[in-house]
Amino acid sequence: MSREIMPKPNTLWSVFSMKCPRCRRGPMFKNNNTYKSLKLSHTFDMYDECPHCLQKYELETGFWYGTGYVSYALTVALSVATFVAWWVLIGVSINDNRIFYWLGFNILLIVLLQPWLMRLSRVVYLYLFVKYDKNYKTNSPRIFDN
């Protein structure tokens, strides 16, 4: 009897492709395209559990409230990154309005990326609580409540 050994999927790739943290193969969201519809309900249209390994995504009632902190951290990191890039590429001076151009650019970028950032914050938050299980086919998923 030969056992098929599957390589461990890369963590960073699994986060950005929004895969299940337990098996890193099943999708977390029903549609991969965040911008398919501008309705907020579409942004959070998730499976209740992973279609591949049956890991429950909402670990307890109110679990997703913590994603606000992750979303805030991602937004601050993005703002710092754009500010550093602006400073290096264009420059920042108190003698002209370049800082206000960056501010306008940053606000526009954050507004456009907000649906994707909200999804990414859910993925990152779930990855903090559910770890990769190389034996996910034989082990049962971790359940937090009930």
Domain annotation covers residue 46 = yes
Domain annotation covers residue 134 = no
Domain annotation covers residue 49 = yes
Domain annotation covers residue 55 = yes
Q: Quickly state the pLDDT bin for 138 (edges 50, 70, 90).
A: confident
Q: Give the total number of structural domains in the chain.
A: 1
Domain annotation covers residue 142 = no
Q: Over 80: is that where the pLDDT of 110 sits?
A: yes
Domain annotation covers residue 2 = no
Domain annotation covers residue 71 = yes
* Domain boundaries, position 89: 11-129
Average pLDDT value for the chain: 88
- For the stretch 20-42, pLDDT in tens is 999 999 999 998 888 887 777 77
Report pLDDT for 4.
63
The count of other CB atoms within 10 Å of the CB of residue 75 is 16
Nearest-angstrom CA–CA distance, 36 and 45 = 11
pTM of the entire predicted model: 0.83
CB 58 within 8 A of CB 64: yes
User: Of 1-10, 30-39, 66-75, which one has max mean pLDDT?
Assistant: 66-75
